[in-house]
């Protein structure tokens, strides 16, 4: 036994008895990383670096959650759930649930006695010092930012120019600030803080999700999940890759009151078992079939049926706490009315986009009676009953598989290419840069990236000349960006650059 070893994590079964089929995890002084690799499971809810235990020589351990899902620490009669970045002190006989209700471990010191806390370990002191330093840096930056924001606000009151043009519809307005006296280093970053559009046009815009702990100006016009799922919803279809059903129900109680909820997900067996146990009885869970041996269901969208129409949301966040609270995420959302009887057979490009994709998901059809509306079979064709003629976007969907013939331009970047080929752009957009921001970039070869660039550059200018191939611009965070983010060192470093 190593002289620095101070204890073990002893695996337990659901009856909180020792599970001898799983090896104990040794805990030594310093930092101990516990995660998916430590206990040899494939459960995606458990990060590879899920929990860090910082042990001191006196037997006390600081437990810090670094994974995306919460951890539960039970001490005596108290049970506390810790989310990403939160920490607690554990002592002899305390029980850890790496996922709430799953993967139980008891912390046992080598001496087998309750620890007597005489002070923090050097590692804990260093961590606290680093956190204080980082906190001060953030506060200083926020103070400077707010000072510039106030200066801009004063200038805007005199110099604001309202232009009748929207990013999406071409009908709303926005404010543009004078930048004459703004330091060049802040000019671009400050202007976005005062972007505004008339409130009656907000539903037609893209929105950012509200981020916890940001200053008020940074959350202007942002939305939470409760802002999105609200009102008298009759049917909800939630499509996503990762689903934390406990967080979802607690953060959006409206969901528990909706008569019919269909969750289309990409979760594995471990999480799926938990979802089945926790879901309300009127919920249906469906994992779409995959026609090839790799790929996953990754689409993040919601379809909410109301007595007066349907709300469609396409967003970027998994249905988990950290994605809706700690990360920069966005959504597009628009409401559509029911079709009148004489126009039931009429369609549009947006409707075709939507129905084509929903048909591929092959969810289990169910029948329901909607008050004052009648009985309906809820399948992909059901969503033809809404009038999408006022849609201000086109949907670009991707499905796994090998596509040929008429399907070649139905999905992915080839679909994007076909849509852009129908568009006419102002001359100023010729050879516009192509901005890429996605974590799987490193797994793609040059041939595919060339095809993507070609598709993204499709279309013509108003003088009938091709739009032309733009310069690729790859966006990714530096180590310093991650270190100074809300999740700080708990965030993943797999996509960062060392500069």
Catalytic residues: 298
Q: Which two tokens stand for residue 239?
A: 């499509």
Q: Does residue 210 contact residue 486 with C-beta atoms inside 8 Å? A: no
Determine phi and psi for 473, rounding to 5 degrees: -125, 115
Q: How far apart are CA 422 and CA 410, in angstroms?
A: 15
Q: How far apart are CA 385 and CA 309, in angstroms?
A: 9
**Which segments within 282-386 are labelled E, that is strand?**
283-286, 301-306, 309-315, 330-337, 366-370, 374-378
300 carries a ligand binding annotation? yes
Residue 62 Cα distances to 5, 17, 56, 102, 404, angstroms: 15, 24, 8, 21, 56
Q: Which two tokens stand for residue 122?
A: 């050097």
Helix (H, G, I), strand (E, B) or coil at 297: coil
Q: Which two tokens stand for residue 347?
A: 């369609």
- Report the C-alpha dihedral over residues 451, 457, 459, 465, rounded to 10 degrees: -110
- Report the C-alpha dihedral over residues 497, 316, 34, 109, rounded to 10 degrees: 120
- Report the C-alpha dihedral over residues 219, 220, 225, 226, rounded to 10 degrees: 120
Q: How far apart are CA 276 and CA 258, in angstroms?
A: 17
Burial of 78 (0-12, 13-18, 19+ CB in 10 A): exposed
Residue 149 Cα distances to 69, 179, 186, 191, angstroms: 35, 12, 10, 9
Selection from 459, 451, 497, 462 nearest residue 478 by Cα:
497
Q: Does residue 394 contact residue 169 with C-beta atoms inside 8 Å? A: no
Q: Binding site residues, as ranges? A: 300
Q: Binding site residues for substrate, as ranges? A: 300
């Amino acid at each position: 036994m190593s002289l620095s070893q101070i204890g073990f994590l002893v695996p337990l079964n659901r009856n909180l008895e020792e599970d001898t089929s799983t090896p104990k995890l040794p805990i030594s002084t310093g930092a101990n990383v516990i995660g998916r690799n430590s206990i040899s499971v494939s459960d995606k809810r458990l990060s590879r670096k899920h929990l860090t235990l910082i042990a001191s020589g006196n037997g006390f351990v600081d437990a810090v959650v670094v994974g995306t899902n919460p951890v539960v620490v039970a001490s005596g009669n108290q049970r506390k759930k810790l989310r990403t970045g939160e920490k607690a002190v554990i002592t002899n006989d305390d029980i850890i649930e790496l996922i709430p209700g799953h993967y139980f471990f008891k912390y046992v010191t080598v001496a087998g006695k309750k620890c007597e806390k005489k002070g923090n370990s050097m590692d804990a002191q260093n961590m606290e010092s680093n956190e204080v330093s980082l906190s001060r840096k953030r506060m200083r930056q926020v103070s400077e930012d707010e000072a510039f924001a106030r200066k801009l606000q004063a200038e805007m009151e005199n110099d604001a120019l309202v232009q009748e043009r929207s990013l999406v519809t071409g009908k709303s307005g926005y404010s543009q600030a004078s930048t004459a006296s703004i330091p060049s280093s802040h000019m671009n970053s400050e202007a976005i803080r005062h972007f505004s559009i008339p409130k009656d046009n907000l539903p037609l815009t893209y929105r950012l999700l509200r981020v916890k702990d940001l200053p008020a100006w940074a959350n202007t016009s942002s939305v939470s999940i409760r802002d999105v799922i609200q009102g008298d919803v009759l049917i909800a279809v939630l499509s996503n890759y990762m689903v934390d059903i406990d967080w979802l129900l607690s953060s959006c109680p409206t969901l528990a009151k909706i008569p019919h909820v269909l969750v289309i997900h990409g979760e594995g067996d471990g999480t799926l078992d938990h979802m089945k146990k926790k879901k309300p009885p009127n919920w249906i869970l469906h994992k779409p079939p995959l026609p090839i041996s790799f790929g996953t269901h990754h689409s993040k969208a919601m379809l909410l049926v109301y007595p007066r129409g349907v709300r469609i949301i396409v967003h970027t966040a998994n249905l988990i706490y950290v994605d809706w609270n700690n990360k920069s995420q966005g959504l597009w959302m628009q409401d559509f009315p029911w079709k009148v009887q004489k126009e039931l057979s009429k369609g549009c490009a947006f409707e075709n986009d939507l129905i084509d994709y929903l048909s591929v998901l092959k969810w289990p059809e169910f029948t329901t009676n909607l008050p004052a509306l009648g009985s309906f079979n809820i399948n992909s064709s059901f969503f033809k009953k809404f009038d999408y003629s006022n849609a201000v976007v086109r949907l670009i969907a991707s499905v796994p598989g090998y596509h040929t013939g008429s399907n070649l331009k139905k999905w992915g970047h080839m679909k994007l290419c076909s849509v852009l080929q129908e568009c006419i752009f102002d001359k100023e957009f010729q050879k516009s840069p192509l901005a890429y921001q996605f974590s799987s970039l490193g797994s793609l070869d040059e041939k595919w990236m060339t095809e993507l660039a070609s598709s993204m550059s499709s279309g013509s200018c108003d003088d009938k000349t091709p739009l032309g191939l733009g310069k690729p611009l790859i966006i990714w965070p530096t180590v310093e960006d991650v270190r100074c983010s809300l999740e700080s060192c708990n965030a993943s470093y797999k996509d960062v650059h060392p500069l």
